[in-house]
Amino acid sequence: MSINLKQGLETLKQYIKIAPEQPGVYRMLGEDDVVLYVGKAKNIKRRIVSYSHIQKLPARLQRMVSEIQKMEFIIVENEAKALLVENELIKRLEPRYNILLKDDKTFPHLVIDVHSDFPALHKYRGARQDGNRYFGPFANVLAVNNVQSILQKAFLLRSCRDSVFQNRERACLMYQIKRCSAPCVGKISLEDYNHLVKEAIDFLDGKNTKIQEELSLKMQKASEDMDYEQAIVFRDRIKALTSVQSGTLVEYADIKSCDVIGILRKHDIVCIQVFFIRSGGNVPYFPQQTEDASDADILEAFLSSFYSEHLPPKEIIVSEILPNKSFLETAIGAKINTYQKGNKVKLMQRALENAEAAIDRKMALETSIKSNLLEMQRVFNLPRMPQRIEVYDNSHTQGTNSVGGMIVATPEGFDKKSYRKFNIKTNDLKHQAMDTTDKIINNDDFLMMKEVLLRRFAHMTSENRPDIILLDGGLGQLHAVHEALRDFDLKDIAIIAISKGPDRNAGREFYHMLGRESFSLPYRSPIAFYMQNIRDEAHRFAIGTHRARRAKSMVQSHLDEIEGIGDKRRRDLLNYFGSTAQIKEASIKDIQKVPGINKKTAEKIYNYFH
């Protein structure tokens, strides 16, 4: 046993003596208080004792123990809270020895805003708000659109915004095509509408057999009463419910609220495939730092991370037996099972087949990217194959709403979690923009690029140090950036500017580096396409950021100019009407309906727009 391992083991044993025997989260720290590992446990002391059995640990965790110099504990109320705290710390600290899930996927959900008198069925992404009912996640927008369309046919719930709902005077097209019950104009009573809402929630919760039986009885009664139009409505609702139940997996229609999660290794790549049986679709994940970790350990880490941010189904089917199954079931709030026979085994086989196909696709993509990066190393005389390429682009409208964008390309593809946007703070841009000569606009671009790079390099660490900085611009941009970064260590960082070619022809760009004549790449070569692709991604990101900021400033500029309208009233107005255009069209009486807006203020708003 090495000296370092003995020292780390001794430190661990000292902390075992004082560790709490309660649920919580523990952190293992190394030199300079660098966090090595974050873990959760129902009983912290019992969990960290397991690390003292060195011979049973994989090599990765043995190295971790050898580096331990300190431990910290956070006691929480229960397993569910421990799961949330652990996930938050892992995502924020990215500990060296944790299995990390770096994917930036966000999934669409369906949400019913049950606080409303007439709740609506909407698509939704983002943080969940208390009280609303969420269903999903769905693997993609197509899946959620299909289910929403079917549910509209089945339950006739509205999908319009509140501002539209509150201002309608006649039923819209959705009512005419029998996808809404038109509560906005009183075509259905509050009691009957809320009954539809309850049926929809029951169905999405998996209590669907009873609903279809009730609809069948209603259809039969309507038919007996010779109310054939109503009978057809019930028939169409039953057909819609049947189609969303079976989906494309007809043989598994008896499997309702569950996710199927399989793990597969191939060529040192680990893929976790998630099948959303409850909502349709499948998604692959590729966890990082999985060396020496067992499949069960990786699955446990995945479940902890994934279900701390997504609503769990009633059952999670996994491909491995998990040692901490009972803890995770309590923390997540779902049953976790492994099966040996039946339809659920067939589903798992499909998940694993998809995992293998996903690994094959990933390997093909990375091989292509790697060949481009090796060619890039050769063409630009780099000391090694680049691991992190940062591409910068700026966007503004005559010096206003100026933003800078940074995207990051790696051997695995675009690292979207590392993208950054910069709201330009340079004071004189707007003043300079009054002169629209090319010289002034170019100077604006130089100032913007200098500011962006200075702010970026102020936060550079050994972990996020780039191999290449790629700029959208010519020699002027190149010299401006070198001048701005003269006080930073630029060793082994290649700074490359890329300018438009003859007639602004894509593929014929010129590349500029200090100490080297400008040059172009072979036209339509793979490396030229790759450089064009990453530059276009930076341009797309910068333009999108600029448009969002410009749209926000346009809204704010209109309402901010009205006396007596502060942040809260502006937000209330926009929440009520949905847009500035709707506020402009509103009458004084309509504006007064907004909470906190009296007649005098409503008149000010109306007079401003008219």
Asked whether residue 566 carries a pLDDT value surpassing 80, the answer given is: no
Which CATH number does the domain 389-550 belong to among 1.10.10.60, 3.60.21.10, 3.40.630.30, 3.30.420.340?
A: 3.30.420.340
Percent of the chain at pLDDT above 70?
84
**Which H or E run contains 573?**
helix 567-577
**What's the rounded Cα separation, in Å, for the pair 578 and 126?**
19
- Give phi and psi for 27, each to the nearest 5: -125, 135
Asked whether residue 515 carries a pLDDT value surpassing 60, the answer given is: yes
The answer to whether 160 and 292 are in contact (CB under 8 A) is no
pLDDT tens string 306-361: 887 777 888 899 999 998 898 889 888 889 999 988 878 888 988 899 899 888 88
- Among 111-125, 140-154, 234-248, 560-574, which is the least confidently predicted range? 234-248
Strands (E), 142-295: 258-266, 269-276, 282-285
The average confidence (pLDDT) of the chain is 81
Query: Coil, strand or helix: which one is 540?
Result: helix
Per-residue confidence band for 554, with pLDDT thresholds at 50, 70 and 90:
low
pLDDT tens string 348-398: 988 899 899 888 888 877 788 889 999 999 999 999 999 999 999 887 655
**What's the rounded Cα separation, in Å, for the pair 296 and 275?**
18
pLDDT tens string 5-24: 888 899 999 899 888 999 99
Strands (E), 364-428: 389-397, 400-410, 413-414, 420-423
- Among 296-310, 434-448, 511-525, which is the least confidently predicted range? 434-448
User: What is the structure's pLDDT at 442?
Assistant: 43
User: What is the structure's pLDDT at 209?
Assistant: 56
| 448: number of Cβ within 10 Å | 25
pLDDT tens string 400-438: 567 888 999 999 888 888 898 888 776 444 444 434 333
User: What is the structure's pLDDT at 477?
Assistant: 84
- Long-range contact set of residues 127-135: C-beta below 8 Å, sequence gap at least 24: 128/311, 133/201, 133/204, 134/109, 134/110, 134/311, 135/109, 135/110, 135/111, 135/204, 135/278, 135/279, 135/311
Asked whether residue 116 carries a pLDDT value surpassing 80, the answer given is: yes
The number of helix segments (H) and strand segments (E) in the chain equals 21, 19
Per-residue confidence band for 129, with pLDDT thresholds at 50, 70 and 90:
low
Higher-confidence residue of 309 and 514: namely 514
Across the range 545-558, mean pLDDT stands at: 61
**What's the rounded Cα separation, in Å, for the pair 564 and 605?**
9
Asked whether residue 191 carries a pLDDT value surpassing 60, the answer given is: yes
User: What is the structure's pLDDT at 382?
Assistant: 93
Which CATH number does the domain 561-609 belong to among 1.10.10.60, 3.90.1150.10, 1.10.150.20, 3.40.720.10?
A: 1.10.150.20
Would you kindly state where each structural domain of the chain is located, as residue ranges? 3-93, 109-252, 258-360, 389-550, 561-609
CATH topology of domain 258-360: Nucleotidyltransferase; domain 5 (3.30.420)
For Cα atoms 518, 520, 522, give the angle at the middle one, nearest 5 degrees: 155
Higher-confidence residue of 558 and 143: namely 143
**What's the rounded Cα separation, in Å, for the pair 479 and 574?**
45
Across the range 103-117, mean pLDDT stands at: 76
CATH homologous superfamily of 3-93: GIY-YIG endonuclease (3.40.1440.10)
Q: Which residues of 113-144 are buried (b: 16+ CB within 10 A; e: fewer)?
A: beeeebbbbbbbeeeeeeebbebbbbbeeebb
Cα 217 to the center of its chain, rounded Å? 43
User: What is the structure's pLDDT at 557?
Assistant: 54
User: What is the structure's pLDDT at 432?
Assistant: 43
User: What is the structure's pLDDT at 174?
Assistant: 87
**Residue 598, class by beta-carbon neighbours within 10 Å (0-12 exposed, 13-18 middle, 19+ buried)?**
exposed
Asked whether residue 155 carries a pLDDT value surpassing 90, the answer given is: no
Measured CA to CA in angstroms, residue 258 lies from 105, 263, 297 at distances of 20, 17, 21
User: What is the structure's pLDDT at 248?
Assistant: 38
Q: Do domains 258-360 and 389-550 have the same CATH topology?
A: yes
pLDDT tens string 260-296: 999 999 888 899 998 887 666 678 888 888 877 889 9
For Cα atoms 25, 28, 33, give the angle at the middle one, nearest 5 degrees: 120
Q: Which residues have C-beta within 8 Å of that of residue 250, sequence separation ≥ 6?
A: none
